[in-house]
Structures are given as structure tokens and as C-alpha cells.
Structure 1
Amino acid sequence: MLTLLLLQVVFSQKILDSPLEQVVWCKSETFILSAKGMLYKNNTSEMPKLISNLTIREILQSEADPQVLYILGDVDTSYVTQNCGKTYQKFKHEKTLHDFRLNPLEAHSLMAFKEFRCNATTDNLCKEKYKKQYQIIIEFQIVLLNRTRDAIWDKLIELPEIPDSRIVASYLSDQGHVQVSYSDDYFKTTQLLRNNSYGFYQTKEYLFILIDADPFSKGYDLEVIKQGSLTPVELVLPIEDHQKYTFTVLDTVNGSIFISISHLEDMPKIMNIYQSDTSGTKYTLSLLNNVRSLDTGNCDFEFIIRGIYIANIYDNTEFEKFKLRRSTKNTDELLFEQGGEWHAIKAPKYDYKGQPIQCNGDCSLHLLGRSEAPRNRIVSHSYITIGTGNTGIYLGNEYKTYLSRDGGHTWFEILDGMHIYDIAENTGLIVFVSDEDIGK
């Protein structure tokens, strides 16, 4: 039996030199990083003098070996500990490096990026989006790849034949081609995946590559490489003549892909959601007019539990008005059960005071999505789901906090106003902090 505990917190913190930035647990040790770059261990400043004199920008903990921590300084000196802080080893690097990424399968290699200064008057390969130099630090030795747009450690980790060192990168080749390639030997040799591409996005089962549309279309096309293959295959949509301008991969669980696509160049905040077959290449239309943020690119589409999703859309009548006035706040909140259809979320019967809620006809529950309120978006763990919103015909601006204990089917209004909340894994403990208390 699951015991549900609700804990409402105002605000409390250990007195640090500045606000809390990061907490890392390493066995029985606790590392705390403040916003000003001061590193504390076990709530004290008991760090070696060499490290305590540094300004720390970030702590990285290895997925391959959780006892390995990289303590990254904000200049050219960093440290690594193999044993949760019993001993430390210093390593040097260029001070302009940023965006450090640990290899999830190997504890002693990480990559980082820096701006690549090329001469636009003499270097015809110099392009704005590829002014990055990519560096790999392996046992503190440096490997370089210039004119890079992005690079990641390969995530297709289920296949034993893929080496732990495999890296996928998008970059300009020496011949001036924009390409996506992978390498198993830190780019001494490469395997071309796609030439004339703009970038890629990878999950554990699929690699998506963005390319130009055919000569008769505007926008872009998307190709997908499924786990175990090296051949890109173009996505097949139910309507072939639609232009495609923006893609967002929403979910890839259970061998099926949910992807959001913008077909309107001047209205990129309105998307259509498509669902693939098991091949990942053939798609059917799942939902029209999904809401997307222009600032972050996030779509209002939330995974609740296996086979159940919640999404926000612009309703059809408002969408027609949107074409004329280019703005609207009226959205519907819909719930989808895989194998079924999208439908409105039934409103709770009682408010947080225990009084009946009058919500009939087209009235339903509407919850804020990540496009509009990232801090108050839907949070879900196991069958428990929490969200912020209102009851009515559309999503409004007077909010309450709601909870579901059955994967989004039945909802309860539990608190007045907006809150920040989180669910502790495996315990059923839920923490709420009122928006009004943030920053106090």
C-alpha cells in the first residue's frame, strides 16, 4: 500500500555565502555548491586549501562510477576525485572551455567546447553556426575537432557492439560539407551518417537528423536511424504536401515515436502531433494545434504513466481567429490513452475547501504546460500526478493546485494558488512551496 504524505514548506536553508546552486550526494558525503562558486562538504567548508581557493562553476558526477566527481573551476584548473573526496587530482585545461559532458559509460573521459575563432576573409569554411572547437579530455590528454556544431557521447547503449568511446558529431568537414558522423577512436577515423545536414537529436533507440526539404518544398525534412542500423530513413507523414519548419521529438517509449511538427512558417507556436508505427518511419496524425513555446521550443505534452499523456491545444474556433490576430490564450487540456482518443480531463468534484465545484457541459480541468509555466508544469511519478490550473471552458489566470492518484483520470483540488512541487522517488513524499514564498 502506498502512503501519500503531503509536506508544505515555506523556506529554509543552511546559511551559505550565497544562495544554493547545486547539491551532489556521493556515498555518505554531501557536496554543496553556492551561487558564488564556494564548495562545501558535509555542510562545512572542509575542503583542501587548493580547492577551497578556487571558484567552482559546476560539479559533474559520473554515471559509470558515482564515486568519481569532476569539480570544474571557472578558470583553467579543475579537480577530479575517484573516491567521493578522500583524495583529489588536479588537471589543467583551457579557461574558455564550457559545456562539459561526461561519458556515461566511462568515468575518465569528458568532452567540452570552446568558441573557434576562424578568419572569415581567408577561411571559406568559416560559418557562424560552426564556430565551436570540440575537445575531448581522456586521462587529461586533449583531442580536438574544429568547426563543430554539436557532439555527444553515443546514447545507443543497449547494443554491446557499440564501443563506450563512440561519439556522434555535427560539423564541417575539411571539404566544406555539413555532415553528421560518428567515430569510435576520437575522430582519428569517422563513419559518415548523413551529408548536407543541419544537426541531430538522439535518444536511446533513435537518431534524428535534420536535412533540407526536397527542391519543390520549403522548410526541412527529418530522417531517422533506428537502433542497429546506420541508414537514415525519411519520415513518412499522412499528408505529403505539407511543409515542415520545426520538429520536436516528444516521446520514444514502447517502440513508438510521438513527434510535434510545425507546418506554418509564420505560426511556429502551433504544432501537430504525429505518432509512428514500430518502424519509427511511418506516422499517423494524433492531435492538431498543440501549444509550443517560442522562447524555449518546449511543447505542452507530458508523459504521465505508460500509455497516458496530457497535452494543451488551441481549440479549433480560436485557431481560426489566431490566423488573423496572431495571438490567443484560449487552450484546451486533453488526455490521451494509447490505443484510444484524446479527450477532455474531467474536473474535480470539490474544491480545496471541500465545497462542490459546479462544472458541467464543456467545463473541464485545464492545467498549465511547460510552454507557459515551466516551474508549475505537470509533475508525475508512478500514478501520482500534480498540476496547476483551473476548471472552466478554457485555461484562465486564476490558478489552483491539483493532484491525481490514478494516472490523471481522477483529480482533486488540494491547494489555493500556484506552487512549486516535487515528488520524492520511492517514498510517496510530496513537497510544496508556495510561489509567494519563493525568494523570501
Structure 2
Amino acid sequence: AYTLLEPTRQTLTLHITESAKEGAAWGNLLSSNWNGTYYTQTLEHVNRNDKGLVDFERILGIEGVAMANEVANVKELAGGAVAAAAAGSHPSKQLQTKITYDNGQTWQYLSVPKTNIHGRPLLCKTTPCHLHLHSFTEKADTSNVFSAPTAIGLMMGVGNVGAHLEDYSKGDTYMTRDAGRTWHIIRQGPHLYAFGDHGGIIVLVSDQEPVDYVLYSTNEGKSFEKFYFTSANKKLRATALITEPMATSRRFLLVGMASRGATQQQVVRLDFRGLFQRKCKHARS
């Protein structure tokens, strides 16, 4: 299978599926020359799921920057298939996140945050040790995962520090303010997140338990305040946090369920227009 990924003005990027086995699907990234007539391989073993979604995203607003999740245990997945089938179990993918700053010519791991959520030095417990983030293949909302078009240099993600990506529920929420060069843990546990007002406001909400508030920041995630949107006896379990595609608005929609077994979604409108006297119109304003 072939998947055409986000193009740029200079190149096309294809994901060529090499393994389509259920639970063990992956492929290689190929990038073209300027007119799409010649392709070279830029990254091997890039993760995809059974629906054809690929863990690859270009970082919006900055040319040449992209992130991808690589399957680190391809040989184990292939070699253990027969033995696993006989045993009634299958090895799981071990994903590692990489970033490129030169349109795929070179890739590197994400740097580990220097401190933990309490401000103490972060000590790695595994070798190798890097930051890894969940991407498209695990998201119900397949819009941009990490970045927004007008929040230049800002990215957020849910993941963990270690040898490879762990289960989503075990992750924490991370942010970078310099296009992925350095990362910081901003909240413990997984959160849905959205940028607004060109990155002037950031909204988070936990999606692991029913909540009656969201968190918002006006200083690029250095600190957060609570905004209560309902009473304590009418909490929602968040399933989506949405704003308009360009991330210039201060209004958001929170979608959630009143209880775990509920079938009807509820929508809450969040309006932060009263936070500032004026709205940013340029990155320097």
C-alpha cells in the first residue's frame, strides 16, 4: 500500500507499506525531488495502523521539520510470528519517536526533559532513554497532533521518557517552545490539548477521568489556571477539545460524555476572549 503524506512546496513524501500484518504494520518513508520524478528512502520502519494511518506529521509553520514514530522491534515482530501464534500471543510494537529538521535527510531522537514535574533533575531508568510521543495511529481526531499553523515553534504531545513508547494511559503531557529542540513536562497524566490566539492561550483537559474544569495557560505552558465549566456533580469525561483550524480564536469546544457508559455526547463552549484586552495579530505583537 502507498500513502501520500503531507507534501511541501519542494517535495512529496510517500509511506510504502512493507508489512501489513495485523498489529505489526509498518513501512518506509520516501521523499521526492522537486517535480516528483525521483524518490529516495529517508526513514525505515515507520509505524502505521490497520486503517492506513501513518505516524508522521510535518510541524506547521516551520519548513523542513517533521516527526515520525519508528517501529524499533521489526525483527522481533517478524521472527516471533510463528512462535507467538503457537503460544496464542503476539509481540507488541515498540515505538520510538524521531524528529527531522532538514526535510527527512537526517533524523534524531527527542531530547529528554532536564527536570520532572516537580522541578527535580530527571533520571533515566532505561538504556536507551529518549522522549516518545503518541501520534496519528492512536488518535480519534486525526487532525494535526502536535502543532498548530499560527503557534510557531510550539508543540505538545502525550508520551513518556524511556526506551520506547508505553501505553497512553501511563503517559504525561509534554511541550516544546523551540520547535522540538528541548522538551518540558507540563502536566502529569495524559491530556487533550489545543492552541488558541496564535499560541497566546493553551487549553488542556484530562481525558482519563470525569472532570468539571479545564486548564489554561497564557505564558506558553509555564503555569496553568483552572476554569470550571460545570458543577462538581455534572462532570464530563472529555473525548475531544476543538478550536478552529488556524488556532487564532480564543473560543474552544469541549466534547465529552456525562458517564463512561453514556451514548449521547455533550458539547461545552469555552470562551476566553475576556482574558486579554486585545487579540494578537502578529507573532511579535
The question of a shared fold, defined as TM-score above 0.5 by the shorter chain, is answered with yes
CA separation in 2, counterparts of 1:369 and 1:332? 11
* Residue aligning to 1:319: 74
* Residue aligning to 1:434: 206
Normalising by structure 2, we get a TM-score of 0.63
In proportion to residue count, which structure has more strand? 1
CA separation in 2, counterparts of 1:292 and 1:333? 13
CA separation in 1, counterparts of 2:58 and 2:28? 17
Q: Deviations over 1:403-434 (max 9, x none)?
A: 00011111000001111111114252111111
The within-5 A match list for 1:6-405 is 246-264=1-19, 266=21, 269-295=25-51, 297-304=52-59, 305-315=62-72, 318-323=73-78, 324-325=80-81, 327-338=91-102, 340-359=105-124, 362-375=128-141, 377-380=145-148, 381-397=151-167, 398-405=170-177
Quote the sequence identity (%). 29
- Is this contact kept in 2: 1:368–1:378, CA < 8 A? no
SS in 1 for 2:114: coil
Unaligned runs of 5+ in 2: 82-89, 212-237, 239-256, 259-285
- Is this contact kept in 1: 2:127–2:162, CA < 8 A? no
Q: How many residues align?
A: 192
Normalising by structure 1, we get a TM-score of 0.41
Tell me how large the CA RMSD over aligned residues is. 2.1
CA separation in 2, counterparts of 1:265 and 1:389? 25
- Is this contact kept in 1: 2:6–2:57, CA < 8 A? no
- Is this contact kept in 1: 2:77–2:93, CA < 8 A? no
Q: Deviations over 1:262-303 (max 9, x none)?
A: 1345467211100100011210000111111213x2110011
Q: 1:264 to 1:434 in 2, by over 3 A?
A: closer
CA separation in 2, counterparts of 1:375 and 1:294? 16
Matched, 1:414 2:186: yes
Amino acid at match of 2:121: P
Task: Give the greater-gyration-radius structure (CA).
Answer: 1
Amino acid at match of 1:276: S
CA separation in 1, counterparts of 2:163 and 2:4? 29
- Is this contact kept in 2: 1:367–1:378, CA < 8 A? no
CA separation in 2, counterparts of 1:284 and 1:426? 35
Amino acid at match of 2:166: G
Amino acid at match of 1:269: A
CA separation in 2, counterparts of 1:415 and 1:421? 11
Amino acid at match of 1:302: E
Amino acid at match of 1:373: K
Matched, 1:423 2:195: yes
CA separation in 1, counterparts of 2:181 and 2:28? 24
